[in-house]
Amino acid sequence: MAHARISANLPPDIDPTKAPVAFGQRALPKLNEELQSLDLLTQQRALMALCDLVHDPEKVYQAIAVGFLDNLKTLLQHHDCIVRQKTTEILYIMAMHNIGRQGLVQNGIIFALIELLDDPEDICRKNTHQVLEMMAKIPEELVLRF
């Protein structure tokens, strides 16, 4: 006779590092709320999901409109190295898009990033340098406008 067993392992197609993302207009506001959570795992999962979403320039525009950059600026000073790493990675991906570079300039992210040039984690310093390199490519007339 067969016995039913319940495994403690997750199914192979579920990634525990990914946050479940809402659909449509609610996805980015929900992630923004999760970034403000006091739970470290919730913050890390939201950052992982956001990292996947910001490859699309439309999502970058929506993220700036929702107010992600203020939260990301705060997370640059987080005590956890994974949070700082994913935050700098998200900022680097956003800086690849023109709208993202404009948002970074408008929200003063550059000054917050400069503090990470001495970060103990190599990957945080690397991502910071990449963001600054992308920001150096912004046309001068756009910088003067802000």
How would residue 127 be classed by pLDDT, with cut points 50, 70 and 90?
very high
DSSP state, 97?
S
What are 25-67's pLDDT values in tens digits?
Answer: 788 888 899 999 999 999 999 999 999 889 988 999 999 999 9
User: The domain 26-145 is classified under which CATH number: 3.40.50.9100, 3.90.1150.10, 3.40.50.300, 1.25.10.10?
Assistant: 1.25.10.10
Average pLDDT over residues 129-143: 77
> Does 5 score more than 70 pLDDT?
no
- Give the pLDDT of residue 145: 53
pTM (predicted TM-score): 0.80
The tokens describing 24, both together, are 């449509």
Rounded CA-CA distance 77/113 in Å is: 9
For the chain, give every domain's residue range.
26-145
